[in-house]
Amino acid sequence: MTNDLKTLVREKGIEYFLCSFVEMSGIPKAKLVPATALDDMVTDGAGFAGFAAGDVGQGPHDPDLVSIPDMNAMIVLPWKKNIAWVPGMLQVENQPSQYCPRRILAHQLEIGRQRGLSLVYRNSRRFEQLLAQTGARHIRTPPYTPRWNGKVERFIQTLQNEWAYSHTWPNSHARARTLLPLIRNVLRIAGVCCREAADYWHLAHCASHR
């Protein structure tokens, strides 16, 4: 814990931290932590009962889930200036959780960086400069036109109907173990080309985190 962070908290008048993470189905979770516990929060994170926190790969018998906050990403809530929102990376027993969307995204960004790629927001100045330099045109998907990405939509719907919601799974681990065999069977039946197969396998890998 640095004195600079404590000074910033004091100057901003922050009294509470909304220590947050997003579970695998995209639902945000958070715990309100008082600023007086700042040292403990930064060092040890904020604890959650994983089984009750949503799709994070835990059953009722599993140890607590811990969100280690990224204080560099802290945002003071504009409508409640004494509260700061801070996202975190998930850990279980001091080990990185494979059910952490933030970590999965960071991993994919690092892969892109190693390949000389970077994620750029579509309205950013860098993106506009890149379009001008290459003479490319940004084509946006029109609203309510599923035919533009129908193959992906069909794939996701198949996963939902034949995998995610077709059974009552004992836990997320059991569900994840059945995903790749399903994808293999879908690809075999569809007879997709190698390029499409690679894309689908990438989607499956991201979904199962294995």
pLDDT in tens, 98-144: 888 898 888 888 888 888 877 766 667 878 888 888 888 887 777 77
Has residue 19 got a pLDDT over 90? yes
CA dist 108 and 187 (Å) reads 24
Backbone angles phi, psi at 103, to 5 degrees: -70, -40
Quick one: pLDDT at residue 67? Answer: 93
Same domain, 33 and 78: yes
Question: What value does the mean pLDDT of the chain take?
Answer: 81
CB atoms under 10 Å from CB of 159, counted, come to 19
User: Quick check: is 107 in a domain?
Assistant: no
Quick one: pLDDT at residue 82? Answer: 93
In the chain, the amino acid numbered 115 is R
Same domain, 11 and 78: yes
User: Quick check: is 60 in a domain?
Assistant: yes
Quick one: pLDDT at residue 191? Answer: 62
Answer with the residue of higher pLDDT: 199 or 38.
Answer: 38
Has residue 40 got a pLDDT over 70? yes
Answer with the residue of higher pLDDT: 193 or 180.
Answer: 180
Question: Quick check: helix, strand or coil at residue 46?
Answer: strand
CA dist 176 and 164 (Å) reads 9
User: Quick check: is 198 in a domain?
Assistant: yes
Top-ranked range on mean pLDDT: pick from 62-76, 116-130, 148-162, 166-180: 62-76
List, in sequence order, every beta strand (DSSP E) within the chain.
16-22, 28-34, 46-48, 65-69, 75-76, 83-92, 95-96
Bridge partner residues of 32 (DSSP): 18
Containing structural domain, residue 82: 3-99
Same domain, 133 and 190: yes
Quick one: pLDDT at residue 195? Answer: 47
Angstrom CA distances, 190 to 180, 196, 201, stand at 15, 11, 14
Quick one: pLDDT at residue 121? Answer: 64
* pTM for this prediction: 0.59
User: Quick check: is 168 in a domain?
Assistant: yes
Same domain, 154 and 187: yes
Same domain, 90 and 133: no
Has residue 157 got a pLDDT over 50? yes
> Quick one: pLDDT band at residue 210, thresholds 50, 70, 90?
very low
Contact between residue 210 and residue 98 where contact means Cβ atoms under 8 Å apart: yes
Quick one: pLDDT at residue 206? Answer: 52
When divided into structural domains, the chain yields a total of 2
